[in-house]
């Protein structure tokens, strides 16, 4: 059997761990593994690379995706989609393993509806797929955010400053929630509708009265301009306030232990599905158990 593999959209820590384990398991089982580079764009451009055990022997601990990724706008066009299907057929791919977030999932469902045999792996730092408790990359991103916030806190504490840390997540608050809890943030802003400037000021004042020396705000991205917010707080309270966007260190970080283990579990699950010829399924983890669901159900 010839298995294609691609990573699409924003990369996620743990993608390489999955690629490494899956290639090792699949080639040992006698399957051929072929990477399509740059995700769905690689299907359109027919950019392929056969993967051997040797190719993947030293990548499992690395962030990013060694087979490259992209957000392909061409794949969303009729022409692009048609070319993608043609190249899957040209390469005689029996099953395509697709890693990525919600946009990637939509593409996987369309390919499956067009007759391509698909297995989908949820891989995004955002954790915004409701059928699985955990997406690959989320735990690593939270660990990177917490590590950054801890360090920022040390300098803010030295100067008794208020600080704001913006974390990633696109429109999903999970990274913000977990990193706010793990760093004992004074305030968590996870949705625009929760935001009240008056309430923020009163919470900060209260925290300072209770002895907090460097009150912190953890906020999900795409809500407001954190640098403007810092200026407003500083003007209002007359206390030095700083903001930072933690940004891509959350995405490019090395996979955490939890993500490395999850990647290996997902790889085994995909091998089991393919070996028993069960296709068009999405793999996930619910209550610590690996599950698979029909792509049409999610
Ligand atoms: O989906 C992962 C993610 O890192 C989001 O958290 C973020 O909003 C987005 O990707 C950024 O995407 P890009 O790197 O394409 O600007």
**What is the residue with the minimal CA distance to atom 2 of ligand 1?**
10
Say if residue 7 is in the same domain as residue 125.
Answer: yes
Say if ligand 1 is within 6 A of residue 168 CB.
Answer: yes
**What is residue 137's three-state secondary structure?**
coil
**What is residue 32's three-state secondary structure?**
strand
pTM above 0.85, yes or no: yes
Say if ligand 1 is within 6 A of residue 255 CB.
Answer: no
Instruction: Give residue-wise pLDDT tens across range 175-197.
Output: 999 999 999 999 999 999 878 99
Say if ligand 1 is within 6 A of residue 102 CB.
Answer: no
Say if residue 180 is in the same domain as residue 237.
Answer: yes
Say if residue 109 is in the same domain as residue 146.
Answer: no
Instruction: Give residue-wise pLDDT tens across range 202-229.
Output: 999 999 999 999 999 999 999 999 999 9
Say if ligand 1 is within 6 A of residue 136 CB.
Answer: no
Report the CATH number that the domain containing residue 218 is assigned in CATH. 3.40.50.460
Q: What is the pLDDT of residue 195?
A: 83
Residue 276, judged by CB atoms within 10 A of its CB (0-12, 13-18, 19+), counts as: exposed
Say if residue 18 is in the same domain as residue 108.
Answer: yes
Say if residue 170 is in the same domain as residue 206.
Answer: yes
pLDDT in tens, the chain (298 residues): 999 999 999 999 999 999 999 999 999 999 999 999 999 999 999 999 999 999 999 999 999 999 999 999 999 999 999 999 999 999 999 999 999 999 999 999 999 999 999 999 999 999 999 999 999 999 999 999 999 999 999 999 999 999 999 999 999 999 999 999 999 999 999 999 878 999 999 999 999 999 999 999 999 999 999 999 999 999 999 999 999 999 999 999 999 999 999 999 999 999 999 999 999 999 999 999 999 999 999 9
Residues 70 and 41: beta-carbon distance below 8 Å: yes
Residues 6+ apart with CB under 8 A from 235: none
Q: How far apart are CA 137 and CA 126, in angstroms?
A: 8
Say if ligand 1 is within 6 A of residue 10 CB.
Answer: yes
Number of domains in the chain: 2
Say if residue 153 is in the same domain as residue 291.
Answer: no
Report the CATH number that the domain containing residue 109 is assigned in CATH. 3.40.50.450
Say if residue 145 is in the same domain as residue 124.
Answer: no
Angle, vertex CA 95, rays to CA 90 and CA 96, nearest 5 = 85
Active site residue: 55, 126, 139, 259, which one? 126
Say if residue 216 is in the same domain as residue 282.
Answer: no
Say if residue 81 is in the same domain as residue 122.
Answer: yes
Say if residue 148 is in the same domain as residue 17.
Answer: no
**What is the residue with the minimal CA distance to atom 6 of ligand 1?**
169
Query: Domain containing 185: what range?
Result: 140-252
What size, in residues, is the chain? 298
Distance 179 CA to ligand 1 centre (A): 17
Say if residue 242 is in the same domain as residue 96.
Answer: no
Say if residue 110 is in the same domain as residue 144.
Answer: no
Shortest-distance atom of ligand 1 to CA 12: 2
The reply to whether 55 belongs to the active site is no
């Amino acid at each position: 059997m010839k298995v294609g593999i691609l990573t699409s959209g924003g990369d996620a820590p743990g993608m390489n761990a999955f690629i490494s384990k899956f290639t090792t398991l699949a080639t040992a089982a006698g399957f051929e593994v072929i990477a399509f580079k740059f995700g769905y764009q690689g299907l359109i451009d027919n950019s392929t690379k056969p993967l051997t055990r040797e190719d993947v022997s030293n990548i499992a601990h690395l962030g990013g995706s060694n087979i490259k990724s992209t957000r392909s706008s061409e794949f969303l066009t009729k022409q692009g989609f048609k070319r993608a299907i043609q190249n899957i057929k040209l390469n005689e791919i029996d099953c395509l393993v697709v890693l990525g977030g919600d946009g990637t999932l939509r593409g996987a469902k369309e390919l499956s509806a067009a007759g391509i045999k698909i297995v989908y792996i949820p891989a995004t730092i955002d954790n915004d797929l409701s059928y699985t408790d955990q997406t690959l990359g989320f735990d690593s991103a939270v660990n990177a955010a917490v590590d950054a916030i801890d360090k920022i806190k040390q300098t803010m504490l030295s100067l008794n400053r208020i600080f704001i840390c913006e974390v990633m997540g696109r429109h999903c608050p999970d990274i913000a929630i977990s990193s706010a809890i793990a760093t004992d943030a004074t305030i968590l802003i996870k949705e625009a509708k929760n935001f009240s400037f008056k309430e923020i000021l009163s919470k900060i004042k209260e925290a300072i009265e209770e002895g907090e020396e460097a009150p912190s705000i953890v906020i999900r991205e795409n809500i407001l301009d954190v640098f403007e917010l810092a200026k407003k707080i500083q003007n209002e309270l007359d206390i030095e306030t700083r903001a930072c966007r933690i940004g891509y260190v959350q995405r490019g970080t090395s996979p955490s232990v939890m993500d490395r283990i999850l990647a290996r579990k997902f790889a085994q699950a995909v091998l089991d599905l393919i070996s028993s010829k069960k296709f068009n399924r999405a793999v996930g983890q619910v209550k610590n158990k690996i599950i698979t669901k029909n792509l049409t159900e999610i």
